[in-house]
Amino acid sequence: MDTKALEKVALSIRGLAMDAIQKANSGHPGVVLGAAELGAILYGELLRHDPSSPKWPDRDRFVLSAGHGSMFLYSLLHLSGYKGMGIDAIKSFRQVGSAAAGHPEYGAAEGIEMTTGPLGQGLATSVGMAIAETMLAARFNTSNHTIVDHYTYALAGDGCLQEGVSAEASSLAGHLGLGKLIVFYDSNKITIDGSTELSFTEDAAKRYEAYGWQVLKGSMYDFDGIAKLTAQAKAETKKPSLIILTSIIGKGAPTKQNTADIHGAPLGPEEIAAAKKALGIPEGPGGEFYVAPEAQSYFKAKQDEWKKTREKWQVNFDAWAKENPDKKKEWDAFYSGKAAAASLPSFAIGDKIATRTAGNKALAAIANTNLNLVGGAADLKGPNAVGLPNTTAYSASDRGGRYLHFGIREFGMAAIANGITLHGGFRSFCATFMVFSDYLRPALRLSALMKQPVIYVLTHDSIYVGEDGPTHQPIEHLAALRAIPNVRVLRPADAEETAEAWAMAMERTDGPICLALSRQNLTVFVKDDPEWKNSIRTGAYIAKKAAGKPDAVVIATGSEVSLALEAAEKSGKKVQVVSMISRELFESQPAAIRDAIVPPGARVIVCEAGISQGWERWAKSEDILSIDRFGESGPAPKVAEHLGFTSAALAAIISR
């Protein structure tokens, strides 16, 4: 290990970061300057990666959980030679269209493993990546060939460890014994408001030991020490490791280091000049966006070394593939990005079945042909009806299991599901009651932002939960889920639609899907559109045609389609009933498709067991039957009657 070269790498990280943040007049230099030595040794000596093949399946993953320190990552990607992070990107830090966005954005440049910035989520998501590694290893490694054998690293700060999601995920990681997860904790004891003495004085080491982690301690500025601690972390195969590195925030800034002032603001020209002088960076234009020649030559040599390591793996992989053609075929399927066809369950007209129950039948069929579909629930396997057939539960002693017991950790569960999907090779799902989607919402938002097709199974989707009362009855949740860009909410109306909804979820590859499913039984109804299985993929179809020109078009979703069909009969009017499984999908269709289902000029009535927000586009307020208040505790039919949410009430609106 060439420590002198690593010192020049750390110097270059500091130089690039100071200038990029100053040029942008915005950014967070504290963690970058404070952790530069870790970045140097991590990318130079510890991380197994190859910038010439950034999607190499067996690369180590690095997640910058402290995403505000994005110039830490960008500097290292630039120095290592990743495409998309050239000097022009560094110079356009935090500008519109730059790959070097304010916080790391997945897909903006090669080498960015996920979008981070919301503190704690990077650490939690890295748990999912580590789980995925063990699952792949269990499935594909053989006695003759090890083709999956990599580590997941994360850099977290004081803020990450204060966030609840990191506690949820870290607790589960310890329980699962994820020995290939290594988290570096940048312990600089400074946050935006000042010293951590203001609000964070717990013994994090003892907390993580209680979670079942190996906890190691050292200095951020000791290359040999960091190397030894990392080797010690790798030697512990049955526990994840937290390496606590004591650091100085903003190290190298003469008057601002070790103060809150340097956390989230440029240093200023005078401080930068003084810092560069102390660091030995040339003065004047030659010292702007400075990269030491020794750092350049160091990484150039490393690029050849990394490539040889990856090529050696490829030789081993090719030999494995030749010996194991069936496994190779399965590997290709796992990484194809396409769902395998499944024989979906069929249901008879008149069957009464909850859509959560029908969803389990569809999930079973899909899971049998898509062996890379993995997931679980937040302690609600039975109530959510998401048990997987022909598999076991994933655990520390059974890495081949496909069902994950996430425990009562909704936010952690969703972040972990993101990590499993981001890792590659898998599709993931997670499940809870819809009302508790509020607990996981920030991770769902990141799914959407990163365009990750995680499937969220959200059951007990309305007031028909009944006796559990308003704490468990979703009211505003459908609207809240639809409000997130790139989230597709599917609310099927019966068992047949539910099977297609699961198929639609598997077909999507560019964003998350929320399946809104009922607790109560719903009757499988006759669908007047003979091509409804195709039409539903536009987001809506005509469930009941009117005899002639309709007096009204009733748009309903989920369980309310049955209510609309009943009300249409009671009204005595010519009514066209539209089952709108996905409003946002339907609204994205060309006008010709929309107009064929909801004729322009028609009187439109909407019925949904949730708030009216968002339906104003389709109907006047007096023509929306909704629930704009919290529910009540009681038997579901009585609650609906109490709230005036009945077929008679809808029929009265139709008849007006």
Residue type at 301 in one-letter notation: A
To the nearest whole percent, how much of the chain has pLDDT over 70?
A: 100
Distance from CA of residue 12 to its chain's centroid?
A: 32
Tokens of 598: 């909801």
308 CB-contact burial (10 Å; exposed 0-12 / middle 13-18 / buried 19+):
exposed
Q: In the listed set 523, 546, 564, which residue is the last one of a domain according to the structure?
A: 523
Give binding residues for thiamine diphosphate as ranges: 68, 117-119, 159, 188, 263, 436
Q: Does residue 176 share a domain with residue 52?
A: yes
Give binding residues as ranges: 28, 68, 117-119, 158-159, 188, 190, 263, 356, 436, 460, 468, 472, 519
Tokens of 214: 């190996």
Sheet holding 575-579, edge to edge: 541-544, 575-579, 552-556, 604-607, 624-625
pLDDT averaged over every residue in the chain = 98
Region class of 280: left (phi > 0), else alpha (psi between -120 and 50), else beta: left
pLDDT of residue 174: 99
pLDDT band at 613 (very low <50, low <70, confident <90, very high): very high
Say whether 339 sits in a helix, a strand or coil: coil
Backbone φ, ψ for residue 482 (5° rounding): -65, -25
Instruction: Let me know if residue 265 belongs to a domain.
Output: yes
Q: What are the tens digits of pLDDT across the range 115-159?
A: 999 999 999 999 999 999 999 999 999 999 999 999 999 999 999
Contacts of 242 (CB under 8 A, 6+ apart): 183, 185, 204, 205, 208, 213, 214, 215, 216
pLDDT band at 490 (very low <50, low <70, confident <90, very high): very high
Q: Does residue 604 share a domain with residue 508?
A: no
Residue type at 411 in one-letter notation: F
Residue 601: which domain range? 536-655
Q: Does residue 541 share a domain with residue 486?
A: no
Task: Please give the Cα distance from 474 to 226 (Å, whole number).
Answer: 49
Task: Please give the Cα distance from 509 to 498 (Å, whole number).
Answer: 19
pLDDT of residue 112: 99
Tokens of 118: 């919301």
Q: Report long-range pairs for 571-576 (Cβ below 8 Å, ≥24 apart).
A: 571/651, 571/654, 571/655, 572/655, 573/654, 573/655, 574/546, 574/547, 574/548, 574/549, 574/550, 575/544, 575/546, 575/550, 575/551, 575/654, 576/542, 576/544, 576/545, 576/546, 576/550, 576/552, 576/602
- Is the pLDDT assigned to residue 189 strictly greater than 90? yes
Instruction: Let me know if residue 137 belongs to a domain.
Output: yes
Q: Would you tell me how many other CB atoms lie within 10 Å of the CB of residue 402?
A: 21
C-beta separation of 84 from 108 below 8 A: yes
* Mean pLDDT within 377-388: 98
Q: Does residue 230 share a domain with residue 107?
A: yes
Q: Does residue 468 share a domain with residue 566?
A: no
Q: In the listed set 460, 495, 523, which residue is the last one of a domain according to the structure?
A: 523
What is the tally of structural domains in the chain? 3
133 catalytic? Reply is no
Tokens of 130: 């580590």
238 CB-contact burial (10 Å; exposed 0-12 / middle 13-18 / buried 19+):
exposed
C-beta separation of 513 from 490 below 8 A: yes
Q: What is the DSSP annotation of 205-250?
A: HHHHHHHT-EEEEEETT-HHHHHHHHHHHHH--SS-EEEEEE--TT
Q: Does residue 516 share a domain with residue 551?
A: no
* Helical (H) or strand (E) element with 554: strand 552-556
pLDDT of residue 284: 87
Give binding residues for substrate as ranges: 28, 263, 356, 460, 468, 472, 519
Q: Does residue 386 share a domain with residue 282?
A: no
C-beta separation of 306 from 59 below 8 A: no
Instruction: Let me know if residue 346 belongs to a domain.
Output: no
Task: Please give the Cα distance from 543 to 547 (Å, whole number).
Answer: 13
Cα–Cα distances (Å) from 486 to 380, 450, 467, 647, in that order, read 26, 10, 34, 33
C-beta separation of 576 from 547 below 8 A: no
- CATH number where 399 lies: 3.40.50.970
Nearest to 227 by CA among 193, 266, 184: 184
Q: Does residue 210 share a domain with residue 106?
A: yes
Residue from 168, 410, 496, 500 carrying the catalytic annotation: 410
- Is the pLDDT assigned to residue 21 strictly greater than 90? yes
Q: Does residue 516 share a domain with residue 558?
A: no
Q: Does residue 94 share a domain with residue 220?
A: yes
Instruction: Let me know if residue 356 belongs to a domain.
Output: yes
Q: Would you tell me how many other CB atoms lie within 10 Å of the CB of residue 628?
A: 12
Instruction: Let me know if residue 321 belongs to a domain.
Output: no
Q: Does residue 228 share a domain with residue 172?
A: yes
Instruction: Let me know if residue 513 belongs to a domain.
Output: yes
Nearest to 15 by CA among 128, 99, 91, 96: 91
Q: Does residue 96 share a domain with residue 143?
A: yes
* Mean pLDDT within 492-517: 99
- Is the pLDDT assigned to residue 283 strictly greater than 90? no
Distance from CA of residue 446 to its chain's centroid?
A: 5
How many residues belong to the chain?
656
Roughly what angle, to the nearest 10 degrees, separates helices 3-24 and 293-323?
A: 100
Instruction: Let me know if residue 416 belongs to a domain.
Output: yes
Task: Please give the Cα distance from 467 to 490 (Å, whole number).
Answer: 25
Tokens of 564: 């609309």
Instruction: Let me know if residue 331 belongs to a domain.
Output: no
- CATH number where 563 lies: 3.40.50.920
Q: In the listed set 307, 337, 370, which residue is the last one of a domain according to the structure?
A: 307
Say whether 459 sits in a helix, a strand or coil: strand
